[in-house]
Structure formats: C-alpha cells, structure tokens
Amino acid sequence: MSRILSILFATFALVAAAFPAHAERVRDLGTFQGVRSNQLTGYGIVVGLEGTGDDNLEYLTQAMRGVSGRMGLQLPPGVSPGLKNAAAVMITADLPAFAKPGQRIDVTVSTIGKAKSVRGGALILTPLYGADGQIYAMAQGNLAVGGLGVSGRDGSKLSVNVPTVGRIASGASVERAVDTGFENSDVLRWNLFEADFLTASRVRDAINARFPGTATIEDGVTLALNLPFGTDMRGSMMAQIEMIDVKPAESRAKVIVNSRTGTVVINSAVRLAPAAISHGKLVVRVDESPRVVQPAPFSQGRTATEQSSSISVEEGGAHVVNFQPGASLAQLVDALNMLGVTPSDLVAILESLKQAGALNAEMVVI
C-alpha cells in the first residue's frame, strides 16, 4: 500500500512539474490598499441566562450598575446583587469595506468570566469600537449557541462544543463608515499578497497593456495606479483591472516542516545539487529477566533474586542514494521512500542536505 501511495505521489509531482503555472486573475494575486475589513470590539452584558452566569464577580456588578444607571435605576451603595442570570462578555465583529450606516453585520459573543453557558441569553445594547477608539457599530440581540454544557451535583460535567461562545446574525448596526480614500486619493495602491518583483512587473505590464501609463512599481509588493477621479469611472476601471489574467512567477523553493505533527511539505521548485544520502537505523534492545534463587535445604540461607540481562543490537540495512545535479521533487520522493524514512528522519535528512549545501530551498519550521 505504501509503495502504491509513493508511486501516486511521484506521478502527481511529475505531472505538476510538466505543466507551467496557469494564469491568475489580478484579484487573486493581491488587493487594493484600504479596501479591507476592520476589526471591532466591545464589552457588554448578556442577560436572561438560566443560572449559568458569572454570579457575583466585581466587574460584572460594576457593568450592571452602569447599565441600570442608563435605564434610570440606581442601585444602593454596598449592594452586590446575585447575577447568576447574567454574564460579562466580549463582542467581536468585522466591519466590511465600504460598509455604510444602517447596514447590519454579524457579531460573536464570548464570555470572559466564570459563566458556564450563554445559551438562551440576550445581549444588551453595546457599542463596538475600532482601533482609533471611535464607535462604529451598536450590537444587540438574542444569541445562537451551538454548544451545550451540563453538570451534576457530584461534580461531573459534560460539554458539547463550546457553550460559552455565541453568535448573533446581523446583530450589529453600522453607525459610522470608514474612509478608505477610494474617492479622493490621487494614487490608488494595489498590494500583492506575497512579495515578488517578477510577479509585480508582470501585473504592471498587464495593466499597462490594457490602460497605458496607469501602473508603476513602488516595491516588490506595491503598484501605484493613476486612475481618473470620479467614483463611477474609477470603480469601473478597478473592476476591469481585477479581472486581467496574469501568469505569476514560480514560487520560491520551500520546505515546510511542522515540528508538532511531523508533517513535511516540499513544493515542486525544490532542486538538489549532487549529493549522496545514507540512512540507517540502529536498534539497541535490553531485556531484563530476574530469577529467584532458593537456598539449599537446611542451609539457613535466604531466598535471593538474581539479575539476568540480555542485550541485542540490530542495525537496519542502510542504502546509499546518489542524486544527480538538479534532481527534482519526484526523484527526491522516490529516494526517500526507498530508504523507508519516517517524518522525523525526513526532517533530519533535509536539514543535513541544507547544511551540506545540496538543498537549494528555504526551510520553514513551524
């Protein structure tokens, strides 16, 4: 079975290498600067819980005093109400680009205290703030919770999914729009998702072929676009630019190693310089077999334990693989499968090849 999988993997690598990179749309390679979502956060109270709230936490009590004060109800000083039907929560949301006042956005509500569940709760009107400290939305509504948590008097507990996180679809109303500079900026900038001068130059050439003199390169990520003023004309040109096909540059040779799971990913750009690899396994086994020794009759001796050890050494057959100049991914996979290496052994081999200067690729350990 492993042999079949290795053959399929090698065949896939050869087929992938045989076909050149296909063209991508400009919108799939990058995005316009400023045309992005913005993160919003807020602190609020969820009420209406069935005894699964925060109870008597001080910060929850202070928040409830503020809420009741806005409603015209002043709690007497020194009174600390039991609030097992309420929970202090953090609210998070993403404000889409060009969102206008009155539009609705989804919010996620997460507990920050000892609340066991927010199932069945309702969020009290809460302002959502941006990174500049300004209010951009107001959130309120009933929570939809996909988790469930139950407990018994003996301390046993059972949880399904996460009952302390809920979501309110269209639970916030946008109160302020974010200025993106789309309408009045002299130059619009388009940014690649990954820095690459060759890809940037190909995008520039493709845009200028459609709209001469429009695009110039600022660096390996950014293109400056001189577009005419006017929202209608500018938006039309941006739509056409996003749909232009561009053949991106081949990705850099890279090896990704996940040290926690043992996963190793090698892209098709990896090449090997002339090198020979020998990988063997040495297994040392020590077996202890203690024996009980009885004294001779009437000798007045004592029963004793005698140690008996057996040591064996087994060395697996080591194969030597010779790589010719410019060996491809498929050849590397075939060779490593022939050696029968495990993921941890594969990482050691790749690191040794890198140190020897035979592996011309960037190694990323995550």
SS3 62: helix
Higher pLDDT, 190 or 311: 190
**Residues 161-214: tens digit of each pLDDT:** 678 889 999 999 999 988 777 777 778 888 998 888 999 999 999 999 999 988
What percent of the chain has pLDDT above 70? 64
Of 11-15, 28-32, 223-227, 328-332, the range with the lowest mean pLDDT is 11-15
Q: What is the mean pLDDT of residues 312-335?
A: 58
- Name residue 137's beta-bridge partners: 128, 174
Residue 141: pLDDT band (50, 70, 90) is very high
**Maximum mean pLDDT: which of 24-28, 262-266, 277-281:** 24-28
pLDDT (0 to 100) of residue 139: 95
The pLDDT of residue 137 is above 50 = yes
pLDDT (0 to 100) of residue 146: 78
Q: What is the mean pLDDT of residues 54-72?
A: 62
Q: What is the mean pLDDT of residues 297-317?
A: 63
Residue 74: pLDDT band (50, 70, 90) is low
Residue-averaged pLDDT of the chain: 75
The pLDDT of residue 17 is above 80 = no
Of 121-125, 216-220, 289-293, the range with the lowest mean pLDDT is 289-293
Q: What is the mean pLDDT of residues 134-151?
A: 82
What percent of the chain has pLDDT above 90? 17
pLDDT (0 to 100) of residue 93: 94
Of 54-63, 231-240, 249-258, the range with the lowest mean pLDDT is 54-63
The pLDDT of residue 260 is above 90 = no
Q: Cα 147 from chain centroid?
A: 22
Q: What is the mean pLDDT of residues 61-86?
A: 63
pLDDT (0 to 100) of residue 12: 40
The pLDDT of residue 89 is above 60 = yes
Phi/psi of residue 190, each to 5°?
A: -115, 130
pLDDT (0 to 100) of residue 263: 75
pLDDT (0 to 100) of residue 281: 58
Dist CA 108 CA 167 (whole Å)? 5
Q: What is the mean pLDDT of residues 216-225?
A: 90
pLDDT (0 to 100) of residue 11: 40
Q: What is the mean pLDDT of residues 279-308?
A: 65
The pLDDT of residue 7 is above 70 = no
The pLDDT of residue 122 is above 50 = yes
Q: What is the mean pLDDT of residues 26-40?
A: 87
Which single residue is written with the structure tokens 């900038």?
189
Dist CA 156 CA 142 (whole Å)? 29
Residue 59: pLDDT band (50, 70, 90) is low
Domain boundaries, the chain: 38-174, 181-246, 254-294+305-365
DSSP per-residue string spanning 119-134? TT-EEEEEEEE-TTS-
SS3 361: coil
SS3 312: strand
pLDDT (0 to 100) of residue 337: 66
Q: 190, 30 in Cβ contact below 8 A?
A: yes
pLDDT (0 to 100) of residue 1: 43
Dist CA 259 CA 292 (whole Å)? 46
Which pairs count as long-range contacts for 60-69, CB under 8 Å and 24+ apart, including other chains? 60/86, 60/87, 60/88, 60/113, 63/88, 67/124
Q: What is the mean pLDDT of residues 271-276?
A: 68
**Maximum mean pLDDT: which of 10-14, 196-200, 261-265:** 196-200
The pLDDT of residue 63 is above 60 = yes
Which pairs count as long-range contacts for 251-254, CB under 8 Å and 24+ apart, including other chains? 252/361, 252/362, 253/360, 253/361, 253/362, 254/361, 254/362, 254/363, 254/364
